[in-house]
Structure 1
Amino acid sequence: MTDPTPVPDVPETIATYLRLRGLKPSAKTWKKRKRLVDDENQPFTKGRDPGTLGDVLGTLSKDAGWEAVLSREDLVRQWDELAGPDTAKHSEPVSLEGGLLTVKCDSTAWAKNLQYMRAVIVTEIERRYPEAGVKDVRFVGPDVPSWKWGPRAVPGRGPRDTYG
């Protein structure tokens, strides 16, 4: 068997393990490693408490770049809170392209009244949903048939000249 005298620099548990395995501990090969202290992995330190689900989802959406898309969806879903319940009964957002929010109204009268309130509505949208990227709002009346088709429509009297 091996020499039962322990080496003074080797911890007793290591020496016992090596003795049982039939190996001889040597002081030259055994060095106690200094453990690097990593504050992030230490228990009971700041930032180690579990986060809330809302914080985790907020971080996930920010890292994935979903903030703008989610903000636009919130704007559409919460239009009645933004515009007010009476106004929301007569209007609804239909598109958001290039910073221009298009809102369709029940009548041209509602579209005109909301046009007068456009500055207040845009300010409120930018305050509540800054990530949505809304720079302007356009209010349109109900759909009516149009004789102008496509981007190359020629200005003028149009089809009224051909009737009669």
Structure 2
Amino acid sequence: MKGSFSVPEPPDSSESGSESEQVHDKQGLELAKSLAARLKQQAAKGGIIPVKRRRRPRIGGAQISSARPDDRDPQRLTNTLGRLMRDQGWEVDVAVHGVMARWPSIVGPEMAEHCKPESYDDTVLTVRTSSTAWKVQLDLLVPQLLFRLNAELGEGTVSQVKVLGPNTYTWRKGPRTVRGGRGPRDTYG
């Protein structure tokens, strides 16, 4: 039969008993060697026609695994997250949030106690201060802060630092107010 592969039959019981005992006693590598030798003998006699293996077509573009490393192998989490951030365009946002987490080491502990970064949007960093005195102080330090932030994040990441004063209480109550009304003067005399 063309294209088929047959396994040799075990020796007949009519042969000497010592040879059949050897076949059953062989294990592992010796068994494989004896089987390969028998197959070679049958192939030489014309009893076995080797079957050529055909490659299976790829189904849906799926690749067959190989011995060399590729993208289908398990990856380190840092590599995978880095690729995800790069593909989604999140690298700058993650870097800016990292700087916000390290804010005290960038501006110093005393300044960080009174000035907190609030948001980052389109290369503009917004910082909120605890008092107007700290707002004036930070306004004077904006050029140095821009230099330091761009050194940490990459040139052009932060183009402007917007410094806001403290959140104050609004004295407006209700939907209607008078422009230039009395405000806090009523309370404090």
TM range, smaller chain: 0.5 to 0.7
Q: Are residue 105 (structure 1) and residue 125 (structure 2) matched?
A: no
Question: Residue 23 of structure 1 corresponds to which residue in structure 2?
Answer: 48
* Structure 2 gaps, min length 5: 1-35, 53-65, 173-177, 184-189
Cα 1:57–1:161 change in 2 (3 A) is closer
Q: What secondary structure sits across from 1:70 in the alignment?
A: helix
Which one-letter code corresponds to 1:16 in the other structure?
A: L
Measure the CA separation in 2 of the matches of 1:14 and 1:127: 72
Cα 1:19–1:98 change in 2 (3 A) is same
Which one-letter code corresponds to 1:24 in the other structure?
A: I
Measure the CA separation in 1 of the matches of 2:171 and 2:162: 18
Where relative contact order (Cα < 8 A, 6+ residues apart) is larger, the structure is 1
Cα 1:17–1:60 change in 2 (3 A) is farther
Task: List per-residue Cα deviations over 1:47-73 (Å, max 9, x = no partner).
Answer: xxx987545543443344321221121
Matches within 5 A, 1:1-164: 16=39, 19=42, 23-25=48-50, 54-55=78-79, 57-130=81-154, 133-144=157-168, 145=170, 159-160=179-180
Over the aligned positions, Cα root-mean-square deviation in angstroms equals 4.1
> What count of residue pairs does the alignment treat as equivalent?
124
Q: What secondary structure sits across from 1:117 in the alignment?
A: helix
Q: CA deviation at 1:146?
A: 8.4
Task: List per-residue Cα deviations over 1:61-109 (Å, max 9, x = no partner).
Answer: 3344321221121122111111111100001011112221110001011
Q: Which has the higher Rg, Structure 1 or Structure 2? A: 2
